[in-house]
Amino acid sequence: MDLTDGPAEAGFRAEVRDFIKEHGSKFPKGGGWSESGEEPGAESVEDRMKAWREAIVAKGWIAPHWPKEYGGAGLSAKEQFILNEEFAENGLSNVGGFGVMMIGPTLMVHGTDEQKQEHLTKILHGERNWAQGWSEPGAGSDLASLQTRAIRDGDEYVVNGQKIWTSGAHRADWIYMLARTDPDAPKHRGISLLMFDMKSPGVSVRPLINMADGHAFNEVFFEDVRVPVKNRLGEENRGWYVGMTLTDFERSGIGNAVGTQRRLRLLLEDAQELPEQETSNARSKSGTWRLAFADRWIEADIAKLFSYLNMSLQDRNMIPNHEASMSKLYTTELNQRIAATTLKLFGLYGQMWDRNRDEALKGQAAGSYLGAVSSTIAGGTSEIQRNIIATRGLGLPRG
């Protein structure tokens, strides 16, 4: 595959660069520090995030992959890739969240006209933020063993149970979630996908603070929550298949790899700027550290090739499957190696904990190191990705 831009791609890239020149400064500095799940916190950060979001909405790029008929940008896979690449290169991110990434496209495939009308425009304009209620204390990797129950009562379901690790539930307006509607059916078949307002009576949210001291995810409890049957997405007891429609896209990781190279460049700049005595044992000049950095650089290039692979599949209207798992596995494990390399380079200095400092890495190395741990768990653990690669990719028997 030719990785250079043709005239059309070059034109689109120039358009993205112009947009970034005009609006990129709106993106809050702290807002890009999402690996550790930082809460933006300060109001000005939230205001700036809103301004950034409005700029993307106005340009029509909030939902690059949505078809135009639903208000999306209808970009080709290559254009989406360029957009992600340029955003990542400049430390920016799209802020569509679960609404744009997950439930919106699922609604387009499985939703009724009424559901599409109710939700899609609000998602596009950022008026309805969503949480994803999949995992439970006893159901993560083996998600289909979930136990939250939804019992039909006339035109409503009555939901009881608990979700965990629910990202952004404390800020979400609505949740889409999987609940068991037929406890006697085989476990993948008795599940339905329900959507409801987080302010519904009986919903409560309890924060979970991660080890990087960020409040990103939560526990969510449901006690006799009444959900209209019309809020079910897809057929009753077919929710597993509805919910899995887009999981592979979540893993394809386009853009992450470019962000990884940017991180390395910033690290290199910082290492060169630092007075020698401030890095542990002057590691920036030592052979060991040079070798480690070269390894990370090569690995970042490989990660980029995985992104290109996924993009080229999407460009041919194929859905990346085990290829998405390879990219997710490799990029997230690489991020952990980069965080460890960074911490080693800066030694004691790297343990400073002040995420408001201006510099890209100083004061953030420790937070990044702790934050990077969760990336190999979220969206399916590394072991699960390896299982997918082994069985679906290599055709090995299931264990």
Ligand X SMILES: Cc1cc2nc3c(=O)[nH]c(=O)nc-3n(C[C@H](O)[C@H](O)[C@H](O)COP(=O)(O)OP(=O)(O)OC[C@H]3O[C@@H](n4cnc5c(N)ncnc54)[C@H](O)[C@@H]3O)c2cc1C
Active-site positions read 250
Contact present, 164 and 131 (Cβ < 8 Å): no
Residues at the site binding ligand X, with contacts judged by CB under 6 A:
37, 132-135, 140-141, 165-167, 217, 374, 377-378, 380-381, 383-384, 387
Cβ-based nearer residue to ligand X, 37 or 320: 37
User: C-beta of 377: minimal distance to ligand X in Å?
Assistant: 4
User: C-beta of 147: minimal distance to ligand X in Å?
Assistant: 13
Distance CA 134, CA 106 (A): 15
Contact present, 200 and 225 (Cβ < 8 Å): yes
Helix (H) or strand (E) holding 206: strand 203-209
Helix, strand, coil fractions of the chain, as percent rounded to 5: 55, 15, 35
Closest CA to 361 of 275, 290, 263, 256: 263
User: C-beta of 386: minimal distance to ligand X in Å?
Assistant: 8
Cβ-based nearer residue to ligand X, 38 or 270: 38
User: C-beta of 1: minimal distance to ligand X in Å?
Assistant: 32
User: C-beta of 381: minimal distance to ligand X in Å?
Assistant: 3
Distance CA 315, CA 317 (A): 5
Distance CA 191, CA 362 (A): 47
Cβ-based nearer residue to ligand X, 166 or 342: 166
Closest CA to 31 of 16, 19, 14, 47: 47
User: C-beta of 3: minimal distance to ligand X in Å?
Assistant: 31
Could you tell me the two tokens for 5? 């831009």
User: Residue of minimal CB distance from ligand X?
Assistant: 140
User: Looking only at Cα atoms, what is the longest distance across the chain?
Assistant: 72
Cβ-based nearer residue to ligand X, 217 or 369: 217
177 conformational bin, left if phi > 0, alpha if psi -120 to 50, beta if neither: beta
The number of beta carbons lying within 10 Å of the beta carbon of residue 355 is 18
H-only helix segments in the chain: 7-23, 43-59, 77-89, 97-98, 104-110, 113-124, 239-243, 247-251, 256-273, 287-315, 322-346, 365-372, 382-388
Cβ-based nearer residue to ligand X, 205 or 377: 377
Cβ-based nearer residue to ligand X, 112 or 141: 141
